[in-house]
């Protein structure tokens, strides 16, 4: 069996034979030119009259040879060499090995001439003798590195072929565009600048390791992804008309507004497809020189230029992009969540635009069905209700779910539907920002103890969230009510289950809980609080999470009379929140200890207001049972009837149980006994600034006088 290294070097040996012949032919031509001079030794120091005459004859010949069109044939290959190359490929195929040069050529669509140029540039790394050959061909011992001029000398014999070589080695050619060959230094004439291979390329070619995708990359190329589907909210007829107008030159600038970045990209790809052009992106965040180079490449390739305009504004990036686009006539697509329409640009270009609305429920169902065909209709309906995903996210979900189905834990394929929820969670799950923390729900409805009425309200909220898209879109309530999502207010004393209910509700919906950190959101600087809140709202909408504001009255409090300058800005914050709350498509939950502190304008915007009372005896008994995990060694003397009579909240009971466990562990007891629990209750009452009376403990009242950790008596 032949290893990859031997096969790769055998392939290079075959290919270098023809290149060496081309080098010999180029050297013969150089020798013949030098032989025409009576004093060739002077050529390195001065241009004689005789040499000038020969050079003028040469340029006359070049001018006569220029054709209307030309192709680069590359290095002529003999029949023997072709047969030898086929033999190496057969041997590699028998061993299940793909030749590195073939792999590289397939990845970047390199033709034979481009492969020859690449091998010629890599040749000095194989043997330093090539450097002196190159120096001889360039008639300069200081020019030993491969260059564009050298490639032209070796790979072409006529002026037509020379122009073809120049074209394939230009900035827009595949070798330079993907970075497989890179210009070194800053020569005045690009023709004489050295050309170096990309790092890792030589090791790849000789089979020493590496991956073709890691040696080259075109940052401006926007390729059509596998499984690409045009977003259904795009009007197909208008999209087709705009694409054809761009190709025909009737328009040279199209704006796509109102959607997120992934949908912007899909819209630009769809326009490029209708225009029959490749798509390239303008790096708006890069320096002016990078933008200009990217625009030149797009123009050379006849591509459609995509300019993501979000955030350009009137800053330096916007000024640079505007100047470039005003001077250029490259067919261009501008895109953004909000429109960027400089008057000077619209005056200079032929402009059309496409306003893209968010995908409605029916369109979301369509994209889910297209991305994951074969799913049960009920599951598709549920996914379309809960998630508003871009085509890119849906492709990711399909890929992750498909991989999970193919490689199930038992080694056998599993139904795709079983892996979809997990794949959705992986794709949508956010990592939090400085203003909000992502909580992945862990607790379930069995961990929640509420009166029947509050429990029923939670189920109603879940049902309303699932039904809202149908009611809002199919039945038209979204237009009349002006709302875009479900908003909920939880009120009640601390520790009554508001935060736990929000977490469990998110878990039942299969969503993460995004808890806003008020300590980082609120800023003393004017306008910063609104910006921070906007970041939290956007994250919730992009990550498909439930947005949760705890202690909400600190942000959503009542607006007051303006007596000081700060009062006016505080009222502006509340006004912003009113507007943003109404616009958000996310499920938003606010929790407050005091409903009276919430501004009345917010109250009317909530679809559900749930008040959490202090638990009664029946709820407290169940809370005490849940406070101790099944593994906890609870003593047989623990009296739940007595404990359930104590007026405590769920959070207070959980805290008292932890204190009891710590006391028992500290005294190295085998079980958590009643005295330990009473000690924990006493500590909790003290934290709440309450007084525990002996009468409340019944027959265990005597334990009030027993120091913590003492268990006798």
Cα–Cα distance between 79 and 226 in angstroms, integer?
A: 39
Are 514 and 540 in contact by the 8 Å Cβ rule? The answer is yes
Q: What's the confidence (pLDDT) of residue 561?
A: 44
Give the model confidence (pLDDT) of 436-472 as tens digits. Answer: 788 888 888 888 888 889 989 999 999 988 888 777 7
Could you tell me which residue, 449 or 522, shows the higher pLDDT?
Answer: 449
Average pLDDT for residues 584-596, to the nearest whole number?
83
Same fold, 221-355 and 445-612: yes
pLDDT at 565 over 50: no
Q: What is the mean pLDDT of the chain?
A: 83
Give the DSSP letter of residue 247: H
Beta bridge partners of 492: 612
Domain boundaries, the chain: 4-214, 221-355, 361-415, 445-612, 617-705
**Over 80: is that where the pLDDT of 414 sits?**
no
Strand order in the sheet with 487-492: 436-439, 513-516, 546-549, 588-592, 487-492, 608-612
Q: How far is CA 399 from CA 381, 395, 426, 525, 583, in A?
A: 20, 6, 11, 45, 32
The string of DSSP codes covering 322-370 is HHHHHH----EEEEESS----HHHHHHS-EEEEE-PPP-HHHHHHHHHH
Of the CATH numbers 1.10.8.60, 1.10.10.10, 1.10.3720.10, 3.30.870.10, which one belongs to the domain with range 617-705? 1.10.8.60
- pLDDT at residue 81, rounded to an integer: 81
Pair 557, 571: CB distance under 8 Å: no
Check residues 48 and 394 and name the one with the higher pLDDT. Answer: 394
| pLDDT tens column, 249-265 | 999 999 999 888 888 99
Look at residue 434 and tell me whether its pLDDT is greater than 80: no
* DSSP single-letter state for residue 207: T
Tell me the per-residue pLDDT of 646-658, one tens digit each, with 9 for 90 and over.
Answer: 999 999 999 999 9
Residue 517 above 80 pLDDT?
no
What is d(CA 613, CA 620) in angstroms, rounded to the nearest whole number?
A: 12
pLDDT at 409 over 70: no
Give the DSSP letter string of 151-199.
Answer: HHHHH-SSHHHHHHHHHHTSTTSHHHHTTSEEE-S--SSGGGSBEEEPT
What's the pLDDT at 501? 92
CB distance 464 to 486 below 8 Å = yes
Average pLDDT rounded to a whole number, residues 124-128: 85
Give pTM, 2 decimals.
0.75
Calpha distance 370→301 (Å, rounded) = 32
Say which residue, 163 or 386, is predicted with more confidence: 163
Q: Which tokens belong to 603? A: 């109250």
Query: What is the Cα–Cα distance from 326 to 345, expressed in whole angstroms?
Result: 6
8 Å CB contact between 324 and 205: no
- CA distances for 136 relative to 139, 140, 365, angstroms: 5, 6, 68
> Stretch 635-644: mean pLDDT, rounded?
90
Q: Are 430 and 545 in contact (CB under 8 A)?
A: yes
pLDDT at 68: 52
**pLDDT tens figures, 447-457:** 888 888 998 99
> What's the confidence (pLDDT) of residue 702?
83
Q: Outline where DSSP puts E strands in 393-507.
A: 436-439, 487-492
| Res. 72: pLDDT tops 70 | no
The answer to whether residue 246 scores a pLDDT higher than 80 is: yes
> Tokens at residue 326, please?
């005003």
Taking a C-beta distance cutoff of 8 angstroms, is the pair 589, 547 a contact? yes
Q: Domain 221-355 is of which CATH architecture? A: 3-Layer(aba) Sandwich (3.40)
How would residue 711 be classed by pLDDT, with cut points 50, 70 and 90? very low
Quote the CA–CA distance of 365 and 378 in Å, as a whole number: 11
Per residue in 275-320, pLDDT (tens digit) is 999 999 999 888 888 899 999 999 999 999 999 998 787 778 888 8
Residue showing tokens 């003397």 = 637
**Contact (Cβ atoms closer than 8 angstroms) between residue 583 and residue 575:** no
**Band (519; pLDDT cuts 50, 70, 90):** low
For 603-623, the pLDDT digits (tens) are: 777 889 999 999 999 999 999
Sign, CA torsion 591/595/600/603: positive
- Bridge partners of 516? 436
Q: Which CATH entry fits the domain spanning 445-612: 3.40.50.1000, 3.20.20.70, 3.40.50.170, 3.40.50.300?
A: 3.40.50.300
CA distance 451 to 496: 11
């Amino acid at each position: 069996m032949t290893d990859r290294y031997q096969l790769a070097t055998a392939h290079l040996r075959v290919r270098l034979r023809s290149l060496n012949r081309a080098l010999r032919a180029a050297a013969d031509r150089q020798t013949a030119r030098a032989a025409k001079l009576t004093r060739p030794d002077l050529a390195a120091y001065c241009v004689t009259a005789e040499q000038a005459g020969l050079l003028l004859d040469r340029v006359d010949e070049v001018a006569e040879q220029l054709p209307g069109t030309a192709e680069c044939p590359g290095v002529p290959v003999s029949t023997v060499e072709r047969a030898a190359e086929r033999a190496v490929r057969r041997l590699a195929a028998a061993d299940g090995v793909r030749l590195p040069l073939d792999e590289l050529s397939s990845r970047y669509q390199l033709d034979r001439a481009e492969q020859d140029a690449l091998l010629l540039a890599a040749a000095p790394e194989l043997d330093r003798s090539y450097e002196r050959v190159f120096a001889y061909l360039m008639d300069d011992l200081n020019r030993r590195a491969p260059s564009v001029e050298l490639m032209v000398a070796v790979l072409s014999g006529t002026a037509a072929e020379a122009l073809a070589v120049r074209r394939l080695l230009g900035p827009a050619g595949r070798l330079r565009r993907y970075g497989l060959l890179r210009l070194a230094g800053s020569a005045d004439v690009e023709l004489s600048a050295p050309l170096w291979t990309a790092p890792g390329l030589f090791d790849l070619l000789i089979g020493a390791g590496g991956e073709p995708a890691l040696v080259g990359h075109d940052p401006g190329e926007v390729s059509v992804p596998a499984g690409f589907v045009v977003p259904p909210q795009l009007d197909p007829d208008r999209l087709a008309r705009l694409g054809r107008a761009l190709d025909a030159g009737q328009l040279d600038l199209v704006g796509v507004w109102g959607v997120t970045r992934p949908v912007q990209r899909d819209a630009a790809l769809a326009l490029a497809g209708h225009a029959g052009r490749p798509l390239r992106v303008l790096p708006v965040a890069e320096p002016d020189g990078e933008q200009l180079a990217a625009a030149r490449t797009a123009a050379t390739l006849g591509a459609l230029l995509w300019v993501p305009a979000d955030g350009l504004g009137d800053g330096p990036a916007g000024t640079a992009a505007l100047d470039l686009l005003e001077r250029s006539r490259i067919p261009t697509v501008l895109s953004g969540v909000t429109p960027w329409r400089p008057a000077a640009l619209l005056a200079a270009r032929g402009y059309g635009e496409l306003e893209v609305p968010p995908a409605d429920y029916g369109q979301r169902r369509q994209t889910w069905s297209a991305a994951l065909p074969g799913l049960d209709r009920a599951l598709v309906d549920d996914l379309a209700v809960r998630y508003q995903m871009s085509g890119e996210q849906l492709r990711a979900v399909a890929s992750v779910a498909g991989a999970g189905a193919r490689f199930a834990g038992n080694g056998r394929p599993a139904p795709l539907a079983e892996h979809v929820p997990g794949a959705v969670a992986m794709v949508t799950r956010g990592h939090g920002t400085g203003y909000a923390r992502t909580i992945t729900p862990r607790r379930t409805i069995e961990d929640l103890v509420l009166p029947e009425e509050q429990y029923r309200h939670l189920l109603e909220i879940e049902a309303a969230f699932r039904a809202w898209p149908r009611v809002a879109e199919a039945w038209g309530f979204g237009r009349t009510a002006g709302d875009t999502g479900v908003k909920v207010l939880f009120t009640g004393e601390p520790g009554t289950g508001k935060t736990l209910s929000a977490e469990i509700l998110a878990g039942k919906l299969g969503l993460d809980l995004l808890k806003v950190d008020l300590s980082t959101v609120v800023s003393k600087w004017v306008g910063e609080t609104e910006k921070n809140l906007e970041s939290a709202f956007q994250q919730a909408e992009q990550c498909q999470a439930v947005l949760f504001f705890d202690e909400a009255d600190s942000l959503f409090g009542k607006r007051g009379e303006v007596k000081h300058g700060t009062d006016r800005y505080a009222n502006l914050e509340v006004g912003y929140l009113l507007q943003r709350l109404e616009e958000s498509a996310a499920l938003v939950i606010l929790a407050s200890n005091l409903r009276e502190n919430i501004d009345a304008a917010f109250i009317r915007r909530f679809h559900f207001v749930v008040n959490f009372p202090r638990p009664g005896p029946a709820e407290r008994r169940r809370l005490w049972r849940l406070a101790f995990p099944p593994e906890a060694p609870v003593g047989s003397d623990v009296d739940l009837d007595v404990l359930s009579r104590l007026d405590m909240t769920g959070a207070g009971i959980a805290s008292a149980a932890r204190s009891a466990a710590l006391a028992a562990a500290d005294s190295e007891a085998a079980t958590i006994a009643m005295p330990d629990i009473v000690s924990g209750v006493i500590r909790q009452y003290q934290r709440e600034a309450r007084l525990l009376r002996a009468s409340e403990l019944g027959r265990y009242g005597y334990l009030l006088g027993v120091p913590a950790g003492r268990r006798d008596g």
